[in-house]
Structure 1
């Protein structure tokens, strides 16, 4: 059956997934697409679902949202409660159903690829039988991304990361659950213990702080490597049709105007084309599969 405009009529509601490592621009792309297609975004970052630590978790601000409704973003009050993958699937499915019932395609964006995998693959949810899926992958070369991560951590420190972590520090924390799992919190433990005179440390506090910040950078880059490996698995072993967009040039651009121009040409325009074809039910050739290195790059440590 065809629509009045001649395009195939597909009855399945549509869901667009924006995937990629931390720091590649997933939130920006999801908002750009949501503004263009007049739809809504569902957060799939398992740490950003909690209230608080907005700098540490790098949540989008109200201004950056540009009026786009966001679901599952800063909705959990208790910092110690565990938001499980099945909690995510339950709440994400509710939001997706609400959005698609309004005649819109839902956009799911975030770095917790294990959550997305369970949502799509677990037979309990029957997701692939109910929804049509489009997967976009924002990819940035490891050396450029590592530099981006380092600069972003410095920006987060300048924006108040240390005070945010001070605000959730307790003498006997559990860094394996809740919001305190966030990269940026456990790494500050030794510094804050010394600051609160809970331990005697021979190192000056300034040195402890520098070491904590460096550890945040290293652990964030390690996370990006794991995220890319997960996407590789979903693409190669699960057989997901994940469409790669190389955003490296955006972060190599020298100035703000050049960054925006590169974003438009390298990321937004191809993304709009891919999503547009997906929404129309058309298929076309996309960029060739990404050639992964035999081993992950070594994680540099700044001294």
Structure 2
């Protein structure tokens, strides 16, 4: 499933840099970010082999047992090259495994590696898992289960509960109407209510749980955490000093083609058979009981939702109907995979490159577009950067700088009465005021007002309407 670079190339790369790195003091940990299909695991293994490292998988789906193909777990051959942790140890029917559980276990592993003078290499596509290790961004309440706003930003952050009781309570809250939940939150935590949209029931439910279990508003916990030395608007300070972060980047057109090819390789490796077997063992009864929503645990994996119609097709379906559903599922998996890759890249930009505050480690970009030049553009630069950092020197490769990194999008809930719409976020509100839809409703209201306004006042009313809209746009743009 992963294209491999020849042993000859890998050996040549090793000879070029291994000697100078053998006695180097490496950073506290190495983190490898990047969209799915960019070869994160391959780089992690090579760094681990050369620098006495061990790999911690930060993938929310790979923690579960089973579905090795669809979750793209490392192969037995790859596991033999470098020691891996956090893969395939959670029962697939467990739906309450959280980012807090991951962080606690991974922290213990990192501390043990440091004691044994091993380099922790964190790799995976679940960026909020990685973020929980880099920064102090989780709240430890009495049940040690609550997530901060940082984790809630991601729609696939999983359950917020740290056990069966918490998970049950969360499900009870999420069953309520969004407006009712938002009203409850506004009563106990008005600050948090202004930062959450009524449709975000999962996020509102978490905030309500924080208040229920601690007696303290969620917003207070966040303010306290961000007020720590080195903290920022996205959470607390760095957990480990001087981490080295790599971001594997690719031309998206090239990556799209690579991802389509990878799905085809998965199909050849038995993807549909794997899904069918897993469905029969763990999913069919849930579907029959109408208790499966593909929103929790391993069932969130790309593949189940997309092949749902195929896997649940009636036995009376013709072969033509089955083939059609199969092709529909394949297309849906390819689309979802490419969409997920873009979401991962967006997360890196927003959470790592545009993160406010001074306590933000540099991120080094590595170009993986041309796999035939992988040694030249990925492995060798990565090892040279690590060598320079270990010596306290400035790497020859400059870290990524993002234009407009200082721009902040304040989380506030705005109401547009003209459009009958709730808008979350200052930047989104500014964009809405400039949108065609908003201007359409402004003009519509102006025409209505003209019918009701005496003729001598129409021009003045129109000018006042234009001035008010322009003023609102200008004020928000200048903030």
Q: TM-score range by the shorter chain?
A: 0.7 to 0.9
Residue by residue, what CA displacement relative to the aligned partner does 1:101-139 show, whole Å, maximum 9, x if unpaired? 111221000011111122222256977254331100111
Structure-1 separation of matches of 2:402 and 2:323? 42
Q: TM-score, normalised by structure 1?
A: 0.82
State the partner residue of 2:326. 209
State the partner residue of 2:131. 117
Structure-2 separation of matches of 1:101 and 1:202? 59
Structure-2 separation of matches of 1:274 and 1:196? 58
2:243 is paired with a residue whose SS is strand
Report if aligned partners of 1:194, 1:201 keep a CA contact under 8 Å in 2. no
State the partner residue of 1:64. 78
Q: Quickly say closer, same or farther: Cα 1:17–1:127, change in 2 above 3 A.
A: farther
Q: Quickly say closer, same or farther: Cα 1:277–1:83, change in 2 above 3 A.
A: farther
- Measured after TM superposition, the shift of residue 41 of structure 1 is 0.3
Match of 1:143 among 253, 269, 283: 253
Unaligned runs of 5+ residues in structure 1 are 1-8, 251-258, 293-303
State the partner residue of 1:107. 121
Q: Quickly say closer, same or farther: Cα 1:201–1:116, change in 2 above 3 A.
A: farther
Residue by residue, what CA displacement relative to the aligned partner does 1:23-58 show, whole Å, maximum 9, x if unpaired? 000000000100011210000011011111111111
Structure-1 separation of matches of 2:69 and 2:340? 18
Unaligned runs of 5+ residues in structure 2 are 1-23, 140-235, 404-479
Structure-2 separation of matches of 1:118 and 1:196? 45
Report if aligned partners of 2:66, 2:88 keep a CA contact under 8 Å in 1. yes
Q: Is 1:284 matched with 2:398?
A: no
- Measured after TM superposition, the shift of residue 236 of structure 1 is 1.9
Structure-2 separation of matches of 1:280 and 1:46? 34
Q: Is 1:50 matched with 2:64?
A: yes
Q: Quickly say closer, same or farther: Cα 1:247–1:79, change in 2 above 3 A.
A: same
State the partner residue of 2:312. 193
Q: TM-score, normalised by structure 2?
A: 0.53
- Measured after TM superposition, the shift of residue 181 of structure 1 is 0.7
State the partner residue of 1:167. 277
1:187 is paired with a residue whose SS is coil
Report if aligned partners of 2:362, 2:399 keep a CA contact under 8 Å in 1. no
Larger-Rg structure: 2
Q: Is 1:90 matched with 2:208?
A: no
Report if aligned partners of 1:14, 1:105 keep a CA contact under 8 Å in 2. yes
Q: Tell me how many residue pairs correspond in the alignment.
A: 271
Report if aligned partners of 1:119, 1:127 keep a CA contact under 8 Å in 2. no
Higher relative CO (CA 8 A, sep ≥ 6), structure 1 or 2? 1
State the partner residue of 2:354. 236
Structure-1 separation of matches of 2:261 and 2:276? 22
Q: Which range moves more in the overlay, 120-129 or 181-190?
A: 120-129
Structure-1 separation of matches of 2:299 and 2:138? 30
Report if aligned partners of 1:14, 1:279 keep a CA contact under 8 Å in 2. no
Match of 2:375 among 245, 255, 264: 264
Q: Quickly say closer, same or farther: Cα 1:186–1:226, change in 2 above 3 A.
A: same
State the partner residue of 2:31. 17
Report the RMSD for the aligned CA atoms in angstroms: 2.4
Q: Quickly say closer, same or farther: Cα 1:63–1:284, change in 2 above 3 A.
A: same
